[in-house]
Structure 1
């Protein structure tokens, strides 16, 4: 099979690149374009954990991590409408105004395909000022952001609508297609897949967070220039919703950033899910993790958020993905292939939680497929210290977080891969090889991932002389 352009990965980066190319093609069949994804279509993605059984059956591939729409499809569907949240788009584009315009463009496309117009959350200025004062006194920073909430229940339809548009515009979509490796042969690329070889003149790699390890392996084979990337390691915190009401009434997904006293490590909140649920993730290598989701209609009594410490490594161990995976492997074994849940009071005292102790908490866990245990048995001491310090600071901003009722789930690890060296069109040092999104280390969220996909598509159009 021969194509002019092949896009690997149909998450936000790959989908938005496909959309941009579809727009410029405008039905023109002159160019053959293929969009590949390891998983299935958005409306066919069905996690057993979301069924009444609430039991992980280790689907291959995991419907939470893989499939059209990417891992973000079953997240809370929060779109941060700022270019410096979810990545550094303003640095990639070398202009704040241009980057903000791009984020607005991404938002307009989501609205076009069904994202709810009435779920735009503007920061409450009066409440924001009060929280910023509290944060400053606690030694933290509270960042107010304009956000759109699509919702876990609404996102699949938005993705499906977008996919249908892409297909009717002439782009071929290949689901359940795994790319084993990418080779440069002469002026073309050959992609080895489970459904045969694909030859392409231009390739865009957008494998997403779940494909970060795969992408890292490809960079070595293809001699793509990269720099070491960071890694976020931590836990997902679950509290009763009223504990976080002051924060979530000011900003839907409040961003709080701080630096630990002992190690000066960056610690932050991420992906806050007001009245949301916690989900289990399963990766290709069998390691597990946790994430959060929020529905537009369905509500729990709890609010959850990721609490993450940023890790940067240097020579001789610069492979942050392998470092993260080594922790994930240990945590997976400790939890018997299930995430570990622990009361904060037990975490503080260094003792294992049991189901009896969990039952004493007023917080009723929204993820049942877990193992009560001791998170500090698998998370490095430095990270544990960062998290403990950070949770105490958070309690000074939102009283009740540092409580014996609070539940912690682990591991929550964000694999961002190495950061790829690219030009303004997202092209690598390898001619005609473009990259985009979280898997390439260029973003840390749906908004910037989508934006890098658009930038890559525009660079590809220049190569195809479509402009």
Structure 2
């Protein structure tokens, strides 16, 4: 059977491509191929086991309908200044217009109507003044918080809507290759995700790759194999920081998420905060070869005593090295090795004292870890010197904005790595160097986060309706 459109990956960009195109032309034959499960079957056993059991064949947190976004903190950043480089391609004003359009779709499927970070204007000015004093930039960004559990409900409604509208979805099916003839896409090669015994060719007039962060490395190999124009991008490596809610209370109440950027001495690399979760929980994600990476969740109805956020350092490489994803993987593997395959956690004060953290020290701290199976140890033994220096100096600057942030009991978890470093060369219509082959979302290197990936999908649906 031949389709008008095949979408590889049911992440936000793929979902919203199908949604927008189907609404504009319900006669289009659309197929979504997803290597994971439907959202209603995605479940992390760690909720019961209290430790990662390395689900086979894929981690349910990173793979399945709605991708990692369904198990993220569930925040929509409502500003073109946040979420990647897409405004450079399609324009700042048009990006803002698409944000408003896409936001209405989320509201239609049940997103909370409340927008965080717009109410306390005078208080925000004071936070900005403190940030300027610290040499940091505060980025204004209204936030619509879906919540981790509510995001899953919203995406389940979208899944049911798509299926009910005639969009076909092949779950637990892995795309292994694309079919190209004379520089034109013709279809994809797929197999079953678990046994990989049945191989099949599926054909389409257009193919959209929406592989998400989980598929970034696969997409890079595809680009190399088929000579799809791409370039090395940025890889973000850092830590997830956890403090008591009392430390972050004022900023949490005013902004909900404080997006701060700095260029600390001596290297002046870009360092930023990301994914702040008031009353949230530190979580673990597993990528290929059981690579354990830390993240954070924030629920609507379930709250902890802590706030967590990521501090990420951007790494840009030049000739002769052009494998930033592999660099991030190697750093993560070293940290995983020290933690015996689990996430490492260390107290900030112990880092300054030049010692590892011991489990009995964590048990008597004011900050109780919300990731129960994290291993107390020494992050500095594996984190690159340049990265670690940037992170420590950034924390000192952040302590001016949020007094107490650089407390001795502040927890640092590692590794936190964002795998979206390969950047595919795209036209303004998101077309690759292969005709009728398009690439979207975080795997493309152009977006970072739910809103930008979603609106890129919306725009793709509009383009394919022409």
TM-score bracket for the superposition, by shorter chain length: over 0.9
- Asked if 1:248 is matched to 2:252, the reply is yes
- Asked if 1:275 is matched to 2:272, the reply is no
Task: Name the structure 2 match of 1:168.
Answer: 164
Alignment of 1:63-462 (within 5 A): 63-94=60-91, 96-118=92-114, 120-186=116-182, 187-195=184-192, 196-462=200-466
Supply the distance in 1 between the matched residues of 2:455 and 2:209 (Cα, whole angstroms): 14
Supply the distance in 1 between the matched residues of 2:106 and 2:222 (Cα, whole angstroms): 31
What secondary structure is seen at the aligned counterpart in 1 of 2:32? strand
What secondary structure is seen at the aligned counterpart in 1 of 2:304? coil
Supply the distance in 1 between the matched residues of 2:257 and 2:43 (Cα, whole angstroms): 26
Pair 36,123 (structure 1): closer, same or farther in 2 beyond 3 Å: farther
Pairwise CA distance, 1:188:
4.2
Pairwise CA distance, 1:190:
3.5
Supply the distance in 2 between the matched residues of 1:416 and 1:123 (Cα, whole angstroms): 33
Supply the distance in 1 between the matched residues of 2:219 and 2:114 (Cα, whole angstroms): 37
Pairwise CA distance, 1:199:
1.9
Aligned residues: 457
Supply the distance in 2 between the matched residues of 1:380 and 1:189 (Cα, whole angstroms): 44
Residue deviations 1:59-106, cap 9 Å, x none? 121011111111111111010001120113322212x22111100111
**Comparing 142-151 with 346-355, which one deviates more in the overlay?**
346-355
The TM-score with structure 1 as length reference comes to: 0.95
Supply the distance in 1 between the matched residues of 2:320 and 2:86 (Cα, whole angstroms): 30
Supply the distance in 2 between the matched residues of 1:218 and 1:453 (Cα, whole angstroms): 21
The root-mean-square deviation of aligned C-alpha atoms, in Å, is 1.3
Answer yes or no: is the 8 Å Cα contact 1:234–1:412 preserved in 2: yes
What secondary structure is seen at the aligned counterpart in 1 of 2:373? coil
Pairwise CA distance, 1:53:
2.9
Supply the distance in 2 between the matched residues of 1:316 and 1:445 (Cα, whole angstroms): 30
Pairwise CA distance, 1:117:
1.5
Pairwise CA distance, 1:200:
2.0
Pairwise CA distance, 1:108:
0.6
Supply the distance in 2 between the matched residues of 1:403 and 1:121 (Cα, whole angstroms): 26
Answer yes or no: is the 8 Å Cα contact 2:185–2:434 preserved in 1: no
What secondary structure is seen at the aligned counterpart in 2 of 1:111? helix
Pairwise CA distance, 1:115:
1.0
Supply the distance in 1 between the matched residues of 2:216 and 2:433 (Cα, whole angstroms): 19
Supply the distance in 1 between the matched residues of 2:353 and 2:168 (Cα, whole angstroms): 55
Task: Name the structure 2 match of 1:33.
Answer: 30
Task: Name the structure 1 match of 2:197.
Answer: none
Pairwise CA distance, 1:153:
1.0
Supply the distance in 2 between the matched residues of 1:178 and 1:127 (Cα, whole angstroms): 49
Pair 212,305 (structure 1): closer, same or farther in 2 beyond 3 Å: same
Supply the distance in 2 between the matched residues of 1:437 and 1:58 (Cα, whole angstroms): 26
Unmatched runs of 5 consecutive residues or more in structure 1: 463-467
Supply the distance in 1 between the matched residues of 2:17 and 2:80 (Cα, whole angstroms): 18
Pairwise CA distance, 1:120:
4.7
Supply the distance in 1 between the matched residues of 2:117 and 2:43 (Cα, whole angstroms): 29
Alignment of 1:10-25 (within 5 A): 10-25=10-25
Pairwise CA distance, 1:164:
1.3
Supply the distance in 2 between the matched residues of 1:193 and 1:369 (Cα, whole angstroms): 36
Supply the distance in 2 between the matched residues of 1:83 and 1:453 (Cα, whole angstroms): 15
Answer yes or no: is the 8 Å Cα contact 2:245–2:305 preserved in 1: yes
Unmatched runs of 5 consecutive residues or more in structure 2: 193-199
The TM-score with structure 2 as length reference comes to: 0.95
